[in-house]
Amino acid sequence: MSAAAEGGAGRGGVTPILYVLGAALLWSTGGLFIKATELSAYELSFGRSLLAALTVAYFTRRAGFGVNGVTVVAAVLYAALLLLFVAATKLTTAANAIFLQYTAPVYVAVFEPLVFKEKYRRGDFLVVAACAGGVALFFVGRLRPEELTGNLLALLSGVCFAVFMLLIRLPRAGRVNRASSIIYGNLLLAAACAPAFFRGAGRVTAADLGVILFLGVFQIGVAYTLFTRGIERGVRSLDAALVGYVEPLSNPVWVYLFLGERPSGWAALGGAVIIAAVAAHSLALARKRKRRKSVKAANRES
């Protein structure tokens, strides 16, 4: 899951949005490949993050690798959200992990006005209330202890993701390569998880290495590159956000098709409520921005 930057009108026809679609599809494979290996969250995160850091660094090398205080804090949060998501996916269903992580926009709606001195909107309260109801549905019914833990880790991952998104919006974050927090966050996580990986290196199979290679190079590295290229080529924030919903919708589908795992009915309903609420909120905000721009343009012409 990633935050979109503001873009202008599409340049180059359909191609730019296909970059974003490709990124969302690659992100959506995370649940399947995390579930497909017996490696622990720490063992898997080492190789995944090391390869992801190298891949993103290669594709963004021209922008440099500067660092400042915002980058450091954002890197720590990014490392945390990655590990929390992998651990959550190991403990609960892939659907629960991705849907609960996608509560991040709700926390952004709560804290963004405080950070950027903006007014709260009525729609913010409505989406928060709807998502709170959706989250509650994930805890209905009989849960195994590990599922409860996984759900809570997924929620915490969403909180880290929200704060990360707020940080990279700060003006200081734009003074260096915005990918620096991604690169350093992955390197930090790889360093933290290296001991766990090398302790169990003897049981790592060729299939495990294939999973690590795909997750690091493609599911994070190439996906990030495709997404940023789509934005750079003029994909609007709203278009990118809506296409991005391919990730949470496809993630549990891949896991069901290939591994047979299905979420509970309550969890599926909760996920639908969260995705619908956040998508509706995004559309409402986009319409308001469009109206404000139209009014400003009319005032300039008069």
In a domain, 251, yes or no: yes
At 264-302, the pLDDT tens digits run 899 999 999 999 988 888 788 777 777 777 777 777 776
Count how many domains the chain has: 1
Share of the chain above pLDDT 70, in %: 93
pLDDT in tens, 124-163: 788 888 988 999 999 887 778 999 999 999 999 999 999 9
pLDDT at 302: 64
Say which amino acid occupies 98: I
Tell whether 39 is covered by a domain: yes
Report the alpha-carbon distance of residue 101 to residue 90 in Å, rounded. 14
Is 258 within the bounds of a domain?
yes
Residue 291 in domain: no
In a domain, 111, yes or no: no
Residue 135, in any domain of the structure: no
| Domain assignment of residue 202, yes or no | yes
Nearest to 50, CA basis, from 165, 204, 184, 152: 184
60 is in which domain, residue-wise?
22-99+143-262
- How do residues 242-259 score in pLDDT, each as one tens digit? 788 899 999 999 999 999
Mean pLDDT of the chain: 87
Contact 186/56 with Cβ under 8 angstroms?
Answer: yes
In a domain, 164, yes or no: yes
Q: Could you tell me the pTM of the whole model?
A: 0.86
Q: What span, in angstroms and rounded, lies between the C-alpha atoms of 264 and 171?
A: 42
Minimal CA–CA distance to 154: which of 76, 96, 207, 208? 96
Q: How far apart are the C-alpha atoms of 198 and 17, rounded to whole Å?
A: 40
